[in-house]
A and B are shown apart, each in its own frame.
Chain A
Amino acid sequence: MNTFKLRILACDKVFFDGDAEQLIVPTKDGEWGIMANHSQMVSAIEIGLIKYKPKDGEWVKAIVSDGLLDVRNNVVELIVYSCEKPEEIDRFRAEAAKERALEQMLAKQSIREYHVSAASLARAMARLKYSGKDI
């Protein structure tokens, strides 16, 4: 199967750097699949689950925060704040983060604080949804 170069960069590590056959990312209007020789594209990624299939490997799933996707010349770069495998997620911490975000959203706050808490809540929910589960 044809492959493309995939790089997944999170702010604390290089999550993946190598050849891949397929990549599926969540965007605002649903999931997008990318295969080799995709035409060039720039897209905004939503918080959620990504799947990719490394060359001759099994599908890998990871939970990402929002970010950018850049496709050009058969090179795909995914740049996100954070990227974690489901088994890496600390359910307890995610639960606490969810509680905190909910509490913050209830409190009177400015629009900016609302955005931040909403993003935190979305991340915590995504983590909880996919953590440890067989997906």
Chain B
Amino acid sequence: MASAKEISNRIKSIKDTMKITRAMYMISSIKLRKARKKLEDTEPYFYGLQNAIAGILYRFPDVESLFFDNRPKDKVERRKRRGIVVITGDKGMCGAYNHNAIKRAEELIKESPKCRLFVVGAVGRNYFATRGYPLPSDFTYTATNPSIHRARNIAETIIELYKKERLDEVYVIYTRMVNSLVSEVEVEGVLPLKERKFAKAEILKRKKEAHKAHGHHVDEDLPDVQDGDDKDSALLYGEEMIIHPSADELIEKIVYNYVTGFIYGALVESSASEENARMTAMNSATDNAKDILKELSLQFNKVRQAAITQEITEVIGGAKALKTNK
């Protein structure tokens, strides 16, 4: 058994560690509250933007654009140059948060080895850099305190590469907080704009309304958007839509808004998940430290008890020896 001195040293060091984990827990809980607030504030914008864009794209005249998934080259080219934006944290100490995002990214990389990585957050960047993935040197964004400015910078980088056709499709990997216990890694394609995906829900809703208004039977399954769907859109929107200033300029604006808005949303979601994960990890670390302390103090008492007993025995033994000598 270890000596009392050793055990008390151990107790002291665990107490020190516990102080740190407890402090980190409190910091994370404050940061989480902030991140949650940000998440709530940005949600109407986030969903409003997606809805509006869905509506606009549905009513949009049939145009071929670089930003849509109906590019002529999509039909010929099979191999895509993929860009992947991975959002990780700046620090560890948050359970499996970073690891999950990185693992998901690696799965995606395996599918298309020639993709380009854009990593947000120091942990992910270090991970991929040490494993020899080429990372763009001017893409060094932190994950803490997401701002619309940072999202705009990231979006600008990606859209610029996309416009030059260095990238054919762009995915974002981020962590979504389902509730305070569960968070999930999500992979979302942001470019090119998927007309169908965007418009689907919107179309269904509107079609139902229109059908009801005309006393038709309502089809339950999703109607698919075809090129010859003009009749239906004419039914829904009897009039021409004013597009201002021009279709091309507007699409570009939509793309910038959508990508920036999406990345901002992803950054906010991820930072909330990160703080949540860190809070849970630090909480269990503190609990664990408490358990160890309990055990160690028991051990320490036992050792102390044994030492005292031994001393007493020695004293008594000594006294006895003196008595018999007399």
A residues contacting B by CB (< 8 A) are 7, 9-14, 27-29, 32, 39-44, 66-68, 70, 72, 77, 79, 81-82, 111-112, 115-116, 119-120
Give A100 to B138 CA distance when docked, in angstroms: 19
Give B255 Cβ to nearest chain A Cβ, in Å.
Answer: 11
Known pairs A40-B59, A68-B52, A79-B257; A9 contacts B44 (CB<8 A): yes
A67 touches B153 (CB 8 A): no
B residues contacting A by CB (< 8 A) are 38, 41-42, 44-45, 48-49, 52-53, 55-56, 59, 148-149, 152-153, 156-157, 160, 237, 239-245, 249-250, 253-254, 257, 260-261, 264
Known pairs A39-B242, A70-B55; A77 contacts B48 (CB<8 A): yes
B245 touches A43 (CB 8 A): yes
* B240 cross-chain contacts in A, Cβ below 8 A: 39
Known pairs A40-B242, A41-B241, A42-B241; A112 contacts B56 (CB<8 A): no
A82 touches B52 (CB 8 A): no
Known pairs A44-B253, A82-B148; A9 contacts B260 (CB<8 A): no
17 contacts between A and B (CB under 8 A): A9-B49, A12-B41, A14-B45, A39-B240, A40-B237, A66-B253, A67-B257, A68-B254, A72-B59, A72-B237, A79-B45, A79-B257, A81-B152, A112-B156, A112-B160, A119-B152, A120-B149
Give A28 to B252 CA distance when docked, in angstroms: 14
A7 touches B257 (CB 8 A): no
Known pairs A41-B242, A42-B250; A7 contacts B48 (CB<8 A): yes
Top 8 closest pairs, chain A to chain B, by CB: A41-B242, A43-B244, A44-B253, A9-B48, A70-B52, A9-B45, A11-B45, A28-B245
Give A43 to B261 CA distance when docked, in angstroms: 18
* A32 cross-chain contacts in B, Cβ below 8 A: 244
Known pairs A9-B48, A12-B42, A112-B157; A70 contacts B245 (CB<8 A): no
Give A70 to B57 CA distance when docked, in angstroms: 11
Give A112 Cβ to nearest chain B Cβ, in Å.
Answer: 5
B250 touches A11 (CB 8 A): no
* A112 cross-chain contacts in B, Cβ below 8 A: 156-157, 160
* B52 cross-chain contacts in A, Cβ below 8 A: 68, 70, 77, 79
* A28 cross-chain contacts in B, Cβ below 8 A: 245, 249
B160 touches A42 (CB 8 A): no
Give B139 Cβ to nearest chain A Cβ, in Å.
Answer: 11
* A72 cross-chain contacts in B, Cβ below 8 A: 55, 59, 237
Task: Select which of A11, A42, A66, A79 is within 8 A of B243 by beta carbon.
Answer: A42
* A82 cross-chain contacts in B, Cβ below 8 A: 148
Task: Select which of B156, B239, B260 is within 8 A of A81 by beta carbon.
Answer: B260
Give A28 to B42 CA distance when docked, in angstroms: 27
A44 touches B250 (CB 8 A): yes
* A42 cross-chain contacts in B, Cβ below 8 A: 56, 59, 241-244, 250
* B261 cross-chain contacts in A, Cβ below 8 A: 11
* B257 cross-chain contacts in A, Cβ below 8 A: 67-68, 79
Give A21 Cβ to nearest chain B Cβ, in Å.
Answer: 20
Give A11 to B237 CA distance when docked, in angstroms: 29
* B49 cross-chain contacts in A, Cβ below 8 A: 9, 68, 79
The listed residue with most B CB atoms (<10 A of its CB), out of A29, A41, A81, is A81
* A79 cross-chain contacts in B, Cβ below 8 A: 45, 48-49, 52, 257
Q: Given A9-B45, A79-B45, 11 other A-B contacts at CB below 8 A?
A: A11-B264, A28-B245, A40-B241, A41-B243, A41-B244, A42-B241, A42-B243, A43-B243, A44-B249, A79-B49, A116-B153
B45 touches A68 (CB 8 A): no
Give A116 Cβ to nearest chain B Cβ, in Å.
Answer: 6
Give A79 to B241 CA distance when docked, in angstroms: 18
* A14 cross-chain contacts in B, Cβ below 8 A: 44-45
Give A55 Cβ to nearest chain B Cβ, in Å.
Answer: 21
Q: Which residue of A lies closest to B156 (CB)?
A: A112
Give A72 to B237 CA distance when docked, in angstroms: 9
B264 touches A111 (CB 8 A): no
Give A72 to B52 CA distance when docked, in angstroms: 10
Give A13 to B257 CA distance when docked, in angstroms: 16
B250 touches A43 (CB 8 A): yes
Give B190 Cβ to nearest chain A Cβ, in Å.
Answer: 16
Give A7 to B49 CA distance when docked, in angstroms: 12
